[in-house]
Chains A and B, each alone.
Chain A
C-alpha cells in the first residue's frame, strides 16, 4: 500500500522532499546534521528521478495532479522522457555536489550559518525540480522565484571569503528578477489570449485564438525572460560573477544544474506551449536563438581565454557551453534536440567536476584559484588535479570522454541541416576552447611550484565525489548508449507536440 502510494506520488516527492527538509535544516544547530538532511533530500530526489526515468523510458507520459485538483484549475506536473532525463541529470549531479559540499562548506561558511546554507541549498534544488516538472505556466514562475531567491542567498554567502560575492549576488537578484518579471508578463499575455495557465491547454488553444500582437508580445516576453535565466548571450552577464564569487560548493551545484533547468524550460516554451504556432517559433529559433547561441559560444570562449581567475574562467566557459546546448535545441530537429539533451547531461558532468576540483584547490590553498596560485599544483595535489585534467579533456571533447559524444552529435545535427557556416563557427570555437584549457593545464602541470610553497593536503571528502564525476565523464564517453537513447526519446517527446 505504502509502496504504491510512494510510486504514484513520485513527481510530488521529488519537489516536496527537498522543500520540506529546508526549514528543518535552517533551525538545526549542528552543521553536520544539516548536511545530512541535504544529502538525504537530494538522494531521495535522485532515486525518485531514476524511477521516473525508468517508467518514462518506454514513452509513458505521467501527468500528476497536485492535491488531486484537475487541471486547468489545479497544478499539473508532467513527467515524460524529456523532463525525466533532465531530472536524472540534475538530481544526480545535485546529489554529488551535496556530497562534496560538506568539506567545502565547512571551510568557506561559518558554522553558525551552515544550517541556513543547506536550507537555501535544498530550496534551490527543490525549486529547480519543480521548474522542470510543472505544466502550469504561472506555477513555473513560483518555482523560478523560489530557486532564484535561494540562489541569491547562496551566492551572497561567498562574502565570507570574498566581499565581491555580495555584488555578484545583488546583480543576480536584479537581473534575475527582471528575467522572471519578463516571463510572467509574457504569461499574462498568453493567459489573456487563451484563458488558461496550463501549458497543454495553452498549446491546444493558441492556434485558434486570434492572438495577433498579443501572441507575439507574450511569446517574446516569455522567451526573453527565460533567456536571462538560462544565461544566453547577451543576457548572460550575471553568470560569470555569480559563479565566480559564490562559495565553491554553490558554483559546483549552480554550474551543474541551475541553467540546465532554464534551458529545459526554454525548450518547453518553444516546443510545447507554442507547438501550435510553429511560424513564430521557427522565426525566433533560426533568427534569434541560433545567432545568440553562436555569439555566446564565442564570447564565452574568448572571455575565458583572457581570464586569469580560474573560477571565472570556467564560468565564462559555461556561457559558451550553454551556447552549444541552446544551439542544439534551436536547430529544432530531432538530431539537434537530442544533441542539446546529450550536452545537458554531459556538461553537467564536466562543469560539476571542474568546479568541484577548483573547490578542492581553493580549500587546500586557502586562497582564490588563479593562474598564479595554481602554478605547479599538478604535482602538489595530484589526485584532485588529475580528476580536473580528465574533466578538462572532456570539456575539450577528446574521445573516450563524455564531451566527445556531445560534440560528435552536435556536429552531426548541424551537418544534417546543411548549415556549414554554423558548423565552421562551432569548429573554430571548439579549437579556441583548447587555448584556455591549455593555459590552465600548462600552468598546473608544466611549471614548477613556487619555491618554499607549503605542502597541500587533499581531502577525500572532496576528491572522492570529484572522482565519481571524473569517472562518470569517462564512463559516459565509453558507454554513450544510455544518454544517446534517452536524449533521442526526449527529443521525440518534446517534438511530439502538445503537452
Chain B
C-alpha cells in the first residue's frame, strides 16, 4: 500500500507526466493515446487512496515551500477536495478514452498538442482540488485557465480565437481584479489563508464587510459562471467536445463552484454566514441565474449551446447551496458537484458522439435519429433524467437535499424556483430524446460507427444510476465537511 504522501504526489504529478510525455510518445499514436487513460487510472487510484484516508478523518498534507510568513505552498486535502479530486480523475479516464475516439473519428489536427494541454488541465484541476490554502488554489485556478486556452482555440479559426479572447478576458480579468484582492484581504485580516473546518472569518472581519468580501469571491471566481459573468462558458463551446465534456462540464466549472464552496465552508464558515445573512443576496442571484439560464437554454437549438446554458443553471444550484449556508444545503451542493458531473459529461459525450457519427449539431435535426444511434440517445436520456433529478438517478439526491436545505432555512420561494427549474429542465433536456425517438426523420444522414465515442457515455449513464444506490460514500465525505 502506498503512503499518503506518495499517493498525493502521484495524484498531482501523474497528469503532468502524461502531459510531458505526450509529445515524445507521439511517434506512435497508439502510445500517445494510451497515455491519457492510463494516467487517468493511476491518478484515480491515488485519488481513491487519498479519499479513503480523508474518510478516516485524516488530512493528507504535502508541503512544498514556505513563501513568507503565513504563506505556504502546500497541499492539504479537505473532504470537499477529496470529492472533487475523485470526480476529476475518475471522469478523466473515460474522457481520455472518449477524446481518442472523438479526435480520431473527426480527423482533428494537432492531436498531440490537444492531448498534452488536456492533461495539464487535469493536473491543474487536481491541484485545485487538493490545494492547502487560498494562495495555492488561486495559482492552480489560473493555470487551469491558461492550460485550457489552447484547447478552446483548438480549431484556430477566427471564431475560436474570438471565443478564446472572451474566455481569457473574463476568467483572467475577474480572477486578477476581484479574486486576488479577496484572497489578499483574507490574509491581511487573519494572517492565514488555510482552510479550516468551520471557517475562521467570524470575529476577524466586520460583519458589514462580509457581503462585500463574499461578492469579491463570487464574482472573482468567473469559473462558477454566475450571471452576469457567465458569457465565457457558451463561448467556450467552440472547443472540441471532449473539452466541453470534461473541462466545461466537470473540471473547469467545478473548480469554480468548488472554490466558492471551499471559501464558504472553510474560510467564512457557514455559521458565520448564516448568522450575519451575508450570503443572502447570493441566494437570490443564484436563484435568478438558475431560472434565467434555463430560459435561455430553451431558446438554443445548438445542442452544445443548450447544454452550456444548462450547465450555468446547474452550477448555480451549487452556489445556491453554498449561499443558503446550512449544513444540509452545503451537503446537497457538494453532492451536486458529483451528480451533475456524471450527468452532464454524459450529455456532452452524447452530443459529441452524434456529431462524430452523424455530423449533426442542432436539436431540430435530431428527429428520428434515435433509432440510428439507440445507445447514444438512451445514455442521453439517463443523463438528462439525472440532471432533472428523477429517482432512481444520482441527481435526485442532491436536488432533494438542496430543497430541504432551502425550506429549513426559510427560503420557501427558493423551493418554487427549484421546482420551476426542474420543469424547465424536463422540457429542454428531454426534447432531443423525444425528437430522436418519437418524430419521423427529417434528415437522412450516414451514420458511421465509432465505439470509442459511444462506450464512455453509456458508462457514465450507468454511473449516474449507480450513484443513486451508492451515494453513501460521497454523502459521508460531504457530512465530514460540516462537522467541525
B184-A478 in contact (CB<8A): no
- Among A407, A438, A479, the residue within 8 A (CB) of B65 is A479
Main DSSP-derived SS at the B contact region: helix
CA–CA, A422 and B251, complex, Å: 39
CB distance from A282 to the nearest CB of B (A): 25
B180-A398 in contact (CB<8A): yes
CA–CA, A396 and B168, complex, Å: 15
Interface residues of A (CB under 8 A from B): 396-400, 405, 407-408, 411-412, 415, 427, 431, 434, 438, 442, 446-448, 477-481, 484
CA–CA, A354 and B108, complex, Å: 36
Instruction: Give every chain B residue within 8 A of A434 (Cβ-Cβ).
Output: 173, 176-177
Interface residues of B (CB under 8 A from A): 65-68, 71, 73, 135, 138-139, 142, 149, 153, 156, 161, 164-165, 168-169, 172-173, 176-177, 180-181, 183-184, 187-188
B161-A478 in contact (CB<8A): no
CB distance from A433 to the nearest CB of B (A): 10
CA–CA, A481 and B71, complex, Å: 11
CB distance from A486 to the nearest CB of B (A): 13
CA–CA, A427 and B216, complex, Å: 13
* A438, A442, A446, A479 interface centre (most CB from chain B within 10 Å): A446
A478-B164 in contact (CB<8A): no
Smallest CB-CB separation from A428: which chain B residue? B177
Instruction: Give every chain A residue within 8 A of B73 (Cβ-Cβ).
Output: 400, 478
14 contacts between A and B (CB under 8 A): A396-B176, A398-B176, A399-B180, A400-B73, A407-B184, A408-B68, A408-B71, A438-B169, A438-B173, A446-B164, A446-B165, A478-B73, A479-B65, A479-B66
CA–CA, A431 and B181, complex, Å: 10
CB distance from A488 to the nearest CB of B (A): 11
Smallest CB-CB separation from B187: which chain A residue? A408
B135-A427 in contact (CB<8A): no
Smallest CB-CB separation from B73: which chain A residue? A478
CA–CA, A434 and B187, complex, Å: 22
CB distance from A485 to the nearest CB of B (A): 10
Instruction: Give every chain B residue within 8 A of A477 (Cβ-Cβ).
Output: 67
Smallest CB-CB separation from B134: which chain A residue? A399
CA–CA, A434 and B169, complex, Å: 10
Instruction: Give every chain B residue within 8 A of A478 (Cβ-Cβ).
Output: 65, 67, 73
Instruction: Give every chain B residue within 8 A of A415 (Cβ-Cβ).
Output: 188
A399-B181 in contact (CB<8A): no
CA–CA, A398 and B135, complex, Å: 10
A412-B164 in contact (CB<8A): no
A479-B177 in contact (CB<8A): no
Instruction: Give every chain B residue within 8 A of A438 (Cβ-Cβ).
Output: 169, 172-173
Instruction: Give every chain B residue within 8 A of A442 (Cβ-Cβ).
Output: 165, 168-169
Smallest CB-CB separation from B153: which chain A residue? A446
CB distance from B23 to the nearest CB of A (A): 14
CA–CA, A442 and B173, complex, Å: 12
Other than the known A408-B187, A438-B172, A480-B67, what 12 A-B pairs have Cβ atoms closer than 8 Å? A399-B138, A399-B183, A408-B184, A411-B184, A427-B181, A431-B177, A438-B173, A446-B149, A446-B153, A447-B161, A478-B65, A478-B67
Instruction: Give every chain B residue within 8 A of A448 (Cβ-Cβ).
Output: 156, 161
* B67, B71, B139, B184 interface centre (most CB from chain A within 10 Å): B67
Instruction: Give every chain B residue within 8 A of A480 (Cβ-Cβ).
Output: 67-68, 71
CA–CA, A180 and B252, complex, Å: 56
Smallest CB-CB separation from B176: which chain A residue? A434
B188-A411 in contact (CB<8A): yes
CB distance from B376 to the nearest CB of A (A): 35
Smallest CB-CB separation from A480: which chain B residue? B68
Q: A446-B168, A447-B161 are in contact. Are A405 and B139 (CB under 8 A)?
A: no
A405-B68 in contact (CB<8A): yes
CA–CA, A396 and B172, complex, Å: 11
CB distance from B194 to the nearest CB of A (A): 15
Instruction: Give every chain A residue within 8 A of B156 (Cβ-Cβ).
Output: 448
Instruction: Give every chain B residue within 8 A of A484 (Cβ-Cβ).
Output: 68
CA–CA, A398 and B71, complex, Å: 14
A-B residue pairs, 4 tightest by C-beta: A480-B68, A431-B177, A399-B139, A399-B135
- Among B67, B153, B172, B176, the residue within 8 A (CB) of A431 is B176
A412-B68 in contact (CB<8A): no
B176-A479 in contact (CB<8A): no
CB distance from B164 to the nearest CB of A (A): 6
CB distance from B16 to the nearest CB of A (A): 16
A481-B66 in contact (CB<8A): yes
CB distance from B311 to the nearest CB of A (A): 24
Instruction: Give every chain A residue within 8 A of B65 (Cβ-Cβ).
Output: 478-479
Instruction: Give every chain A residue within 8 A of B188 (Cβ-Cβ).
Output: 411-412, 415
Instruction: Give every chain B residue within 8 A of A407 (Cβ-Cβ).
Output: 184
Smallest CB-CB separation from A442: which chain B residue? B165
Instruction: Give every chain A residue within 8 A of B142 (Cβ-Cβ).
Output: 398
Q: A434-B177, A481-B66 are in contact. Are A446 and B139 (CB under 8 A)?
A: no
Instruction: Give every chain A residue within 8 A of B138 (Cβ-Cβ).
Output: 399
Smallest CB-CB separation from B189: which chain A residue? A415
CA–CA, A396 and B177, complex, Å: 10
Smallest CB-CB separation from A342: which chain B residue? B68
CA–CA, A408 and B149, complex, Å: 28
CB distance from B293 to the nearest CB of A (A): 27
Q: A411-B188, A412-B188, A427-B181 are in contact. Are A479 and B67 (CB under 8 A)?
A: yes
CA–CA, A139 and B93, complex, Å: 70
CB distance from A55 to the nearest CB of B (A): 25
Smallest CB-CB separation from A412: which chain B residue? B188
CA–CA, A230 and B425, complex, Å: 63
CB distance from A171 to the nearest CB of B (A): 35
Instruction: Give every chain A residue within 8 A of B180 (Cβ-Cβ).
Output: 397-399
Instruction: Give every chain A residue within 8 A of B135 (Cβ-Cβ).
Output: 399
CA–CA, A111 and B164, complex, Å: 45
Smallest CB-CB separation from A416: which chain B residue? B188
* A396, A399, A427, A442 interface centre (most CB from chain B within 10 Å): A399
Instruction: Give every chain B residue within 8 A of A396 (Cβ-Cβ).
Output: 176
Smallest CB-CB separation from B162: which chain A residue? A446
Instruction: Give every chain A residue within 8 A of B71 (Cβ-Cβ).
Output: 408, 480
CB distance from A416 to the nearest CB of B (A): 10
CB distance from A469 to the nearest CB of B (A): 19
A400-B68 in contact (CB<8A): no
CB distance from A393 to the nearest CB of B (A): 9
Q: A399-B135, A479-B67 are in contact. Are A446 and B184 (CB under 8 A)?
A: no
CA–CA, A478 and B71, complex, Å: 9
Instruction: Give every chain A residue within 8 A of B68 (Cβ-Cβ).
Output: 405, 408, 480-481, 484
* B138, B176, B181, B187 interface centre (most CB from chain A within 10 Å): B176
Instruction: Give every chain A residue within 8 A of B173 (Cβ-Cβ).
Output: 434, 438
Instruction: Give every chain A residue within 8 A of B153 (Cβ-Cβ).
Output: 446
CB distance from B79 to the nearest CB of A (A): 25
CA–CA, A397 and B180, complex, Å: 9
Smallest CB-CB separation from A446: which chain B residue? B165
CB distance from B271 to the nearest CB of A (A): 27
CA–CA, A396 and B183, complex, Å: 15
CA–CA, A111 and B156, complex, Å: 44
CB distance from A449 to the nearest CB of B (A): 12
CB distance from A376 to the nearest CB of B (A): 11
